[in-house]
Structure 1
């Protein structure tokens, strides 16, 4: 998009991952384990975040995850990730998971998630990330929505931090 290292378009960092689901990744009903789907979501999200930051990234939170439908053994899972918004050192990444019926070409939505990644250097210290330029109307909506989610989350993060500080160091409190 630009030679300016401090600005990147959404399209410059989008990532996709495809997985055929095998029995070892499934529960007794033949459905993909939710934790395995979370792993795939985190991995594809990290690729998008790393591409945007041009740095190593660490997962700060999985802010929201909706399991919409099952992924069955033998199905083709397609995960697409896109940076929704960049802040100073963190980025919100949206991931959408679909199943493709290879025979019909039909897609079925199975999960969506929002994750926050922080860019870090080799010592683990956070580093600034380029700003994000949304290009399409859809990207602009996601950009605005990410800002609203961040505002809402900051209140909850503060509340949890205060709660943790007030609790005794007993795990069973």
Structure 2
């Protein structure tokens, strides 16, 4: 059986939604949790569209809220698969908000969701291979490989302490202004 290859463009999904007062937090800005929910939905849609399978969220790379979103703005989320593993896909998401009255658009957030394709029995399912068709897609793919290497390095760094409390205390007291007073 030959491998199935698909272009990133086959996974593109766009979602636009008007931000309502019910989506806001106490300061009148759109609640970050609501935005994360929309991002998870579009990541699912993009990954499922690409793989042809049900997908689950495995991880979310760094989420920085760059600009607040106001009630009454039109939020547009754009997503596409930018990297594939065996059963995993990294979906890149860009969030923009548009002031409907002025037409001004601002970039509010970019993030990367790792989605896992599942078969009908709930087991991990192989996903199509990726065809990169532009320099931008190649750069996104390479940047994702770098983020994955950093994630693995971070996991190894954290594993160094692996329950060694004395080593952990020595490290944090040397690097930060903190006192440790364990009961």
Q: 2:118 aligns with which of 113, 117, 120?
A: 120
Deviation at 1:137, TM superposition (A): 1.3
Q: Partners in 1 of 2:44 and 2:8 — Cα distance?
A: 14
Q: Partners in 2 of 1:118 and 1:163 — Cα distance?
A: 29
Q: Partners in 1 of 2:6 and 2:63 — Cα distance?
A: 26
Q: What are the residue-to-residue correspondences of 1:13-32 with 2, within 5 Å?
A: 13-32=11-30
TM-score w.r.t. length of structure 2: 0.82
Q: Partners in 1 of 2:87 and 2:158 — Cα distance?
A: 21
Which runs of at least 4 in structure 1 moved beyond 6 Å after TM superposition? 161-167
RMSD: 2.0
Q: 1:9 aligns with which of 7, 10, 18?
A: 7
Residue of structure 2 equivalent to 1:33: 31
What SS class does the counterpart of residue 113 from structure 1 fall into? strand
What SS class does the counterpart of residue 65 from structure 1 fall into? coil
TM-score w.r.t. length of structure 1: 0.86
Q: Partners in 2 of 1:126 and 1:162 — Cα distance?
A: 30
Structure 1: stretches of 5+ with no match in the other structure: 168-173
Indicate how the Cα distance of structure 1 residues 74 and 5 shifts in structure 2: closer, same or farther if over 3 A, else same: farther
Q: Partners in 2 of 1:132 and 1:65 — Cα distance?
A: 25
Q: 1:134 aligns with which of 115, 132, 135?
A: 132
What SS class does the counterpart of residue 63 from structure 2 fall into? strand
> How many residue pairs align between the two structures?
164
Deviation at 1:43, TM superposition (A): 0.7
Indicate how the Cα distance of structure 1 residues 163 and 92 shifts in structure 2: closer, same or farther if over 3 A, else same: farther
Structure 2: stretches of 5+ with no match in the other structure: 166-183
Q: What are the residue-to-residue correspondences of 1:90-105 with 2, within 5 Å?
A: 90-105=88-103
Residue of structure 2 equivalent to 1:63: 61
Residue of structure 2 equivalent to 1:42: 40
